[in-house]
Amino acid sequence: MNKVDLQRRSVLRRLGGVAALSALAGSGVWVGGFRSSALAAPASTATAGSFDVGLRLRAHPDEVSILPGAPSDVWRYTAERIVGPEDTLTPVGESYAGPLIRLRRGQRVHVRIDNELPEDTTVHWHGLHVPSDVDGQPRLPIAPATSTTVAFDVVDRAGLYWYHPHPHGPDGGRVGFQSYAGLAGPLIINDAAERALGLPDGERELVLILQDRTFSNGNELQYIGGGGMGAMMTRMRGFRGEQVLVNGHPDARREVSTQPYRLRLLNGSNSRIYKLAWSDGRMVTVIGTDGGLLAKPEQRRSVTLAPAQRIDLWVDFGDTEPGESVQLVSEEYQLGMMGGGDMMDRGMMGQGMMGDRMDGMMDRGMMRDMMGSERLPLVTFAVVARANDAGTLPERLAQDLPASPVQADTPVRRFELSMRMMQGFTINGRQMEGATVADDEMVRLGETEIWEFVNNTMMPHPMHVHGLQFQIHERVGGRTDLHDGIIDAGLHDTVLVFPEERVRIALTFKDFEGFYMYHCHNMEHEDAGMMRYYKVVA
Ligand code: C2O
Ligand code: CU
Ligand code: CU
């Protein structure tokens, strides 16, 4: 496959200028003008004291040791706490991952974002209910060597969210490239209701970011490069790395004691779907999803985690002896409904997706690779100590989950996911066209709708909606190896829609007017234009 280094030379060349400029940008007063009109305080009178949390977040190139041997060039977030509780920022391993930002419901947060990269970027608060102008949308890019400030109130439920870049210019998106280069970090919201449950915390609460990466012999990150058939196929499937890194490290291992743990997983991969399971066959116990805790725990043989999704797991190593270890793995799976190669021959080629010329050039191995995944070890939990205070899993978890907002007359808005020859994936026949919305992409403030995603393609699409958490209402059709591991209970901001499947979600557009986005969170699909704005109007 034709891949390319992480623009090392051009990055370094352009950095000379950027570094000097960013020193200038950094000399201003850190509380700048606000973008958010929803905030009461006028920019001129606001001070750091008006906020419970004040952060400075830098996006910048760096060198980080990932594999043994030479360090790797990355792009990363680093943050500094200006005001706020001491536990607001915690490093995630010693790697490129952005720091864990820990917020409390009810806080007012102010973030100054410095772009020290050689290209435009934004910072999107994935999953958070924030005003349109602080959502990090591509229509508000932060130019190299400039800063912006955003401020918002923390109104979401306790849960694991995350932040990542969202740039998309006239030539396409750079989300895949920039997050692959290392720009992504976790964000946890805590609240009193969750604390009252007494779930494992401190050393027994682990945030685990799953990302797959490919390295050159010199340890440089490699991403899709150039034109060519291989690159084209990779863009269509989405980029997949040769190895999985957890919190930026290969061969992840954690030492644990014979006690319950809370594992908070984020799939920060560009396109890879994981089928999470325990190596000793124990059931996977799920306590939460994208938007926080479930009403009660759910158990599965395996759990499906698509890009951008989070899952909250509870595991008790109390039945394991010191000296033993248990692995969290991603099991092998096939997505082809008719079995790999067959499906490609009859389905994909039959539809003439890439034209006749392609036929002879693709072998079945490549097809199988597109439609499934081999088994991958993720994290080894080595039980090293015995502990007594076991603690049990509450039978009831969240009591603040909203009831279904769906009524007999709730309107249904339909989104057909299709493939346009040589162009890529579309939503209702459209692709990203900047901050423009069609008539059928306007929704009313305060209203509830059902959105129905119909997948007419042979690929799964993790569909994400900005600015809110939704409920998954119904799933029809599409049976795959991954369906048993689907958790539809609770609140979500990203839902996986399988080939030949129709999924209905229920959303309510509250509090904020303006532009938001909806898109496939396979980052290569999104960057190729499988993304649109929608607009909330009063
Ligand atoms: Cu995680 Cu539109 O983003
Ligand atoms: Cu988002
Ligand atoms: Cu997609």
What is the CA(243)–ligand 3 centre distance, in A? 22
User: Residue 336: what pLDDT?
Assistant: 60
User: Residue 535: what pLDDT?
Assistant: 98
Instruction: Using alpha carbons, select from 190, 324, 212, 192 the residue that is nearest to residue 262.
Output: 190
The atom of ligand 1 lying closest to the CA of 517 is 2
What is the CA(521)–ligand 3 centre distance, in A? 6
Long-range contacts of 78-81, Cβ-Cβ distance < 8 Å, separation of 24 or more: 79/55, 80/55, 80/56, 81/53, 81/54, 81/55
The atom of ligand 1 lying closest to the CA of 164 is 1
CB neighbours of 90 closer than 8 A, spacing ≥ 6? 99, 100, 102
**Which amino acid type is present at position 436?**
T
Cα-based angle 8, 12, 13 (whole degrees, multiple of 5): 115
User: Residue 351: what pLDDT?
Assistant: 43
Count of alpha carbons within 13 angstroms of residue 80, beta-carbon side:
9
- pTM for this structure? 0.89
Q: Which ligand is nearest to the CA of 122?
A: 1
The atom of ligand 1 lying closest to the CA of 526 is 2
User: How confident is the chain (538 residues) per 10-residue block, as mean pLDDT?
Assistant: 40 31 27 29 50 98 97 98 97 94 98 98 98 98 98 98 97 96 98 95 97 96 84 88 96 96 98 97 98 98 98 96 97 67 40 41 53 92 90 92 94 96 90 96 98 95 98 92 95 96 98 98 97 98
* Domain assignment present for 428: yes
Are residues 325 and 279 in contact, defined by beta-carbon separation less than 8 angstroms? no
* Domain assignment present for 137: yes
Rg (CA), the chain: 22
H/E segment holding residue 476: strand 471-477
Do 348 and 455 belong together in one domain?
Answer: no
* Domain assignment present for 392: no
**Which amino acid type is present at position 170?**
P
User: Residue 365: what pLDDT?
Assistant: 53
What is the CA(82)–ligand 2 centre distance, in A? 26
User: Residue 48: what pLDDT?
Assistant: 56
The atom of ligand 1 lying closest to the CA of 127 is 1
Q: How far is CA 214 from CA 3, 72, 244, in A?
A: 10, 11, 9
Are residues 533 and 441 in contact, defined by beta-carbon separation less than 8 angstroms? yes
* Domain assignment present for 391: no
The Cα 133–Cα 36 span in angstroms is 6
C-alpha torsion angle, residues 18, 19, 21, 26 (rounded to 10) = 130
Do 242 and 329 belong together in one domain?
Answer: yes
**Domain interval for residue 73:** 3-196
Q: Which two tokens stand for residue 463?
A: 């569909």
CB neighbours of 480 closer than 8 A, spacing ≥ 6? 333, 334, 335, 337, 460, 498, 499
The Cα 236–Cα 176 span in angstroms is 13
Q: How many CB atoms lie within 10 A of CB 372?
A: 18
Are residues 498 and 480 in contact, defined by beta-carbon separation less than 8 angstroms? yes
Do 320 and 348 belong together in one domain?
Answer: no
What is the CA(382)–ligand 2 centre distance, in A? 35
Do 359 and 480 belong together in one domain?
Answer: no
Do 57 and 119 belong together in one domain?
Answer: yes
What is the CA(485)–ligand 3 centre distance, in A? 19
Do 25 and 127 belong together in one domain?
Answer: yes
The total of structural domains in the chain comes to 4
* Domain assignment present for 396: no
Residue nearest to atom 3 of ligand 1 (CA): 126
User: Residue 213: what pLDDT?
Assistant: 97
Which is it for strands 159-164 and 124-126: parallel, antiparallel or unpaired?
Answer: antiparallel
Do 170 and 259 belong together in one domain?
Answer: no
Relative orientation angle of helices 228-237 and 364-371, to the nearest 10 degrees: 30
Do 365 and 277 belong together in one domain?
Answer: no
User: Residue 427: what pLDDT?
Assistant: 98
The atom of ligand 1 lying closest to the CA of 494 is 1
Q: Which ligand is nearest to the CA of 310?
A: 1
What is the CA(136)–ligand 1 centre distance, in A? 9
Tell me, what DSSP letter sits at residue 219?
Answer: S
Do 88 and 187 belong together in one domain?
Answer: yes
| E-only strand ranges, 290-361 | 292-300, 303-305, 310-316, 325-330, 333-334
Q: Which ligand is nearest to the CA of 307?
A: 1
The Cα 277–Cα 303 span in angstroms is 7
Q: Which two tokens stand for residue 274?
A: 């994981």
The Cα 156–Cα 493 span in angstroms is 12
Are residues 534 and 516 in contact, defined by beta-carbon separation less than 8 angstroms? yes
Q: Is the dihedral of CA 216, 218, 221, 225 positive or negative?
A: negative
Do 215 and 264 belong together in one domain?
Answer: yes
Do 348 and 305 belong together in one domain?
Answer: no
C-alpha torsion angle, residues 277, 279, 285, 288 (rounded to 10) = -50
Are residues 220 and 214 in contact, defined by beta-carbon separation less than 8 angstroms? no
User: Residue 8: what pLDDT?
Assistant: 41
User: Residue 367: what pLDDT?
Assistant: 54
H/E segment holding residue 382: strand 376-385
User: Residue 479: what pLDDT?
Assistant: 82
Q: Which ligand is nearest to the CA of 460?
A: 3
What is the CA(127)–ligand 2 centre distance, in A? 5
Task: Describe the chain by its helix, strand, coil percentages, rounded to 5.
Answer: 15, 40, 45
Do 190 and 234 belong together in one domain?
Answer: no
What is the CA(179)–ligand 1 centre distance, in A? 11
The atom of ligand 1 lying closest to the CA of 531 is 2
* Domain assignment present for 201: no
* Domain assignment present for 397: no
Q: Which residues line ligand 1 (CB under 6 A)?
A: 124, 126, 164, 166, 308, 464, 466, 517, 519, 521
Tell me, what DSSP letter sits at residue 88?
Answer: G
Q: Which ligand is nearest to the CA of 179?
A: 1
Surface-to-core class of residue 96, CB atoms within 10 Å of its CB (0-12 exposed, 13-18 middle, 19+ buried): buried
* Domain assignment present for 363: yes
CATH value at residue 508: 2.60.40.420
